[in-house]
Every structure is written in C-alpha cells, then in structure tokens.
Amino acid sequence: MPSGAQAGPRGEPAVPAAGTTPGPRVSPPAQDGARAAGAGAAAPGAEDGAPAGGTTPGAGGTPADGRRIEGTGPRATGHGPADDGPPGGAPASHRRGGRPPARSGADRAAGSPKPQESRRGGLLMGRPFGVPVYVAPSWFLVAILITWVFGGQIDRVLPELGAASYLVSLFFAVAFYASVLVHELAHTLAALRFELPVRRIQLQFFGGVSEIEKEAETPGREFVLAFVGPLLSLVLSGLFYLALLAVDPSSVPGVLLAGLMVSNLIVAVFNLLPGLPLDGGRMLRAVVWKISGKPMTGTIAAAWVGRALAVAVLIGLPLLTQSGALGSDAVDNVGMDTVLDALLAAILAAIIWTGAGNSLRMARLREHLPELRARTLTRRAVPVENDTPLSEALRRANAAGARALVVVDPDGVPLSLVREAAIVGVPEHRRPWVPVSGLAQDLTDGMRVSAELAGEDLLDALRATPATEYLVVEETGEIYGVLSAADVERAFVKAMARPS
C-alpha cells in the first residue's frame, strides 16, 4: 500500500488505495454543520422533542470540523460539513444516556423507532394486520376514572346493582376503548392500503394514535386517511343506537349501549373539528393542499386553526359546562365540578396546541429532508491495512486531506471502519504502537450505504442499522467515503434552523 497521498484531478488529494480507485472528492455541503445546542427542532411525531443539546462530537474517523484527525496539526482541506465543536470526546451515545449513536436528531425527528420503543410503548395486546397494538400505562388511569365516574351514574339509574355497578362501568371502559381501537384500525387499514408503513397503534389516556411513518402522496389520500376514523366512529354510534332499540333502556345492556352510542358520537364529532392534530385538521390540510398545490400551506393553515381551537377549548368548555349548555344544570358558584371541568379543558387544550406545533415542525422537517444527501455529507476516507500503526494511518489521512479511516485487506476490500471515539481515547505517545485493527468496527451489510441516498431514504437506511459510521459506496461498489451519523445530525439541525 502506498505510504502517502497521490494528487487527484483538479489538485484535490486522492485517497491512496491498494488496487482500488481513488476515494471521493467530496464537495463541501451546501451548509456548514451547526452546533446541536438549542436547535429546538423537533419534528414528525415529535414525542421525542428536539435533538440532544450540546455539541455532538463527530463519530467518524475525524472530527467533523475538518481538523487533523488527531486534533493536533493544521486544518485539512474542507471536505464534508464543518463544525465549531471540539475535535474529540465521547461518542454520541454517551451524551444521550447510552442510546445507540445512530439515533441522531434527524433520525428521531423523522419519527424513527428507537430500540427501546417497544418496551416504552406499554403492554402489547396483539398485532392485527401485522401492526402492534400497545396499551399505554396511562390507559389504566383513565379506566379507573371511567369506572368511578360512570359507575356512580349507573348506581343512580340502577340502584339495585349495588357494588356491581362498578363492574358494569369497568366493562364499559374496556368496550369504549375497543371502539377507539376500531377507529384507529380504520386509519391503519387505509394507510396500509396506500402502502404507508404503520409503526404501531397505542391506546393512551385521551384515546388512541396510529403512528404512520410516511406522509400520503396526494391530498385526496390524505383526506381519506383522516376521514375513515371518524366515519367508523359514526358507524359504531349508529350500530349501538340500533341495538339500543331492541333492549330496555333502563336495563344494564340498555345503559351500556346508550353510553357507547354517545361516547362514539363524541369521539367522531371531536375528531372532525378542523384543526391539527385532529382528523378534521388533516382533512382541512388536505383541502388547502389541493387548492394551493402546496402541502406546507395546508399544514400551516390547519395547525393555526388547531391552535385557535385549543384556545377555544380552554375558554369555552368550562363556560359551556357552567352555563348548562351541555345538558347539565347551570352552576352559579365555583365548586369541585367546575375545577375539574377547567382542568379537563386545560389538558385537552394543551394536547391540541402541542400537536399543532408538532405538525408544523413535522412539515418543516419533510420540506428540508431532501437536503440530507449521503454524497454531500460523506467524509473523504483513506484505506489502511490491519497492521498499520495508528500514527501512520493518521499521517496518511492528514496528508490526503481525509477525515476517516477504512481498514482494507491486501486487495483493497473494505473490512472495517476505525471509530473516532476510539482514536481520541488513545494517547498520542502510544499511537505508533497501536494497530488500527484494534480500533475498528467490523462492517456489516447494513453499514454499507449508497452514495445516491438522500432524504427519508437515507434516514431509513441509517435506522435499519444503528451505527456511528457507515461506508458509502458508489453503484459500482467502489468506496466513496465514510458517513458519520453525527454529520447527518448536524446537517439536519442546520437545515431545520432555516425558515421554510
């Protein structure tokens, strides 16, 4: 293997390779990398919030700012994203409580599943149509509340039941959430019909959620996808009404059927309200998208309507309850029922407001995702053999302007990637005695990504195999360079910081 770098075309340093073509001449990305601190860019499905704060160290063969790979010499040529962070430090996983390094901010914002997600999703109840259904711990709290409240109402209507009224109420709580599950399955089936992957269904405190990983391709599909849920709830309400006609309304079946009829009607009407994140908001988004031709315009309109709806719920619901407009007696003084109504309104308003904001961030993410290109973000790499001392490998990399090390066999076939965190952990005086093979991570098929990947396709590839670095290859199989998950995160944060 050559000991130094050869000059590439246009005066760019080429990557020396044993029996292989030179490495990539990576163009500088459109934007410099950014510090992750204060990014605040949550995104689709923004349950996880913004990327981790603080500067995330580069995770490839070199620091992401283009400094010498050992952090002591002059700056190398400007290939790949720049950064103002430190040249070394702990790998990204150490900054995030031990999560796999590849779970970058961009990855989380794209709605990608984390390894612990299934454990945090709650109790797995089954996999209808191949989609896991989880019951969140908060559901058990709402089941207790429904049992307590509805049980008291049943006791007033059917006093002869005694304590058994609470068993009937518990059955109602389970049956009601079974209806919510049917509502969510309607969304799921429509998504699967449109070939949109569904990660899971989760039953929570205030209903359920179907986590659809991709956006509908047309406004018509978006409208259908949103409308089928409330439509099924209306159908269920009608079926319970027809069943109620056949029984005594003052009997246990009659009380249960009446409760299920009313509750499903409320679910349908509430979800048809025209504001994100409700189904009606998605329907409004689809209509504005169709008229304007821009999905982002539809999202902005529906999200702001959702925020206005949150304010209306916060103020209007307690007033309507206190005035008796919802069927109860008017209340002149402030009592416990009034406080509970205000608390319920505040919780609902917070959920709607937060969901509307998350929808805006999700749309902004999808708008900027195409800017994440493997070819642009890839670091120039220098190939070295297993027994090459670390100091010699670093010298070759810096001479070539490279910022990553790929361990190859004598025929130039890549075997592993040298981890930056491992390099930083080796004191400079020991580097002549440490072979690069001891600092490398073996390549797996999932750690080889195409240089042509971009946007969601790139993030999908990184999600499939969590790692700190990936070998980027051309369609011909030739080595293009090394992609760092930290570089993807920095590029994502920078893109999200720009206005739409």
**Higher per-residue confidence, 420 vs 451:** 451
Check if the beta carbon of residue 450 is closer than 8 Å to that of residue 374: yes
Burial pattern 247-272, b for ≥16 Cβ within 10 A else e, equals eeeeebebbbbbbbbebbbebbebbb
Q: Cα–chain-centroid distance for residue 162? A: 48
**Higher per-residue confidence, 371 vs 222:** 222
Specify the range with the lowest mean pLDDT, choosing from 91-95, 225-229, 387-391: 91-95
**Higher per-residue confidence, 336 vs 308:** 308
Question: How high is the mean pLDDT of the chain?
Answer: 76
Average of per-residue pLDDT across 482-489: 91
Among 227, 216, 208, 219, smallest CA distance to 192 is for 216
Which pLDDT does position 20 carry in this prediction? 34
Average of per-residue pLDDT across 255-267: 94
Average of per-residue pLDDT across 87-103: 33
Burial pattern 429-453, b for ≥16 Cβ within 10 A else e, equals eebeebbbbebbeebeeebbbbbeb
Check if the beta carbon of residue 27 is closer than 8 Å to that of residue 379: no
Report the percent of the chain where pLDDT is more than 90: 44
Global confidence as pTM: 0.62
Q: How would residue 459 be classed by pLDDT, with cut points 50, 70 and 90? A: confident
Tokens of 167: 């068993």
**Spatial distance between the Cα atoms of 306 and 425, rounded to a whole number of angstroms:** 50
Which pLDDT does position 500 carry in this prediction? 57
